[in-house]
Amino acid sequence: MNTVAHYLIFEVVPLTYLCVFSGLTDQLLARVVMEERPDLEEARSAIFNSSAQMKNELKEIEDRILLRLSLSEGSPVDDIDLILTLEASKAKSEEIMVSAKTCFVRLS
């Protein structure tokens, strides 16, 4: 039984990495950086997580705008809730863009 598990690990894992070579490259680079400069790897990881969170927030903003547009009756200019949602969305997206630029500068 131990031989079967050993066989599966060595046969399945390389196939996965062959399909996604860039993923393997990223993982290996992360391991090397983690060994050599753990502080850089932690910063990269934090930036990556922050980037994912910002993408989710932008998607939520987009969904909120689309919902308000679909619920809007008559002229969108007259819909106060829609205008407030657009203003809040604009402010949040600008905040996210500034944060993304800051992350990019830190990463460079």
- pLDDT band, very low/low/confident/very high, at 7 (cuts 50, 70, 90): very low
Q: Are residues 49 and 94 in the same domain?
A: yes
Q: Are residues 42 and 63 in the same domain?
A: yes
Segment 83-108, tens digit of pLDDT: 888 888 888 888 888 877 776 666 65
Q: Are residues 24 and 42 in the same domain?
A: no
Q: Are residues 49 and 101 in the same domain?
A: yes
Whole-structure pTM value: 0.58
Q: Are residues 105 and 65 in the same domain?
A: yes
- pLDDT band, very low/low/confident/very high, at 15 (cuts 50, 70, 90): very low
Q: Could you count the other beta carbons within 10 Å of the beta carbon of residue 40?
A: 12
Q: Are residues 76 and 32 in the same domain?
A: no
Those residues whose C-beta lies under 8 Å from the C-beta of residue 47, and which sit 6 or more positions away, are 103, 106, 107
Q: Are residues 28 and 52 in the same domain?
A: no
Give the per-residue pLDDT at 74.
82
Domain that holds residue 13: 1-36
Q: Is residue 92 within 8 Å of residue 57, measured between CB atoms?
A: yes
Q: Are residues 28 and 72 in the same domain?
A: no
Segment 42-70, tens digit of pLDDT: 887 888 888 888 888 888 888 888 888 88
- pLDDT band, very low/low/confident/very high, at 20 (cuts 50, 70, 90): low
Q: State how many domains the chain has.
A: 2
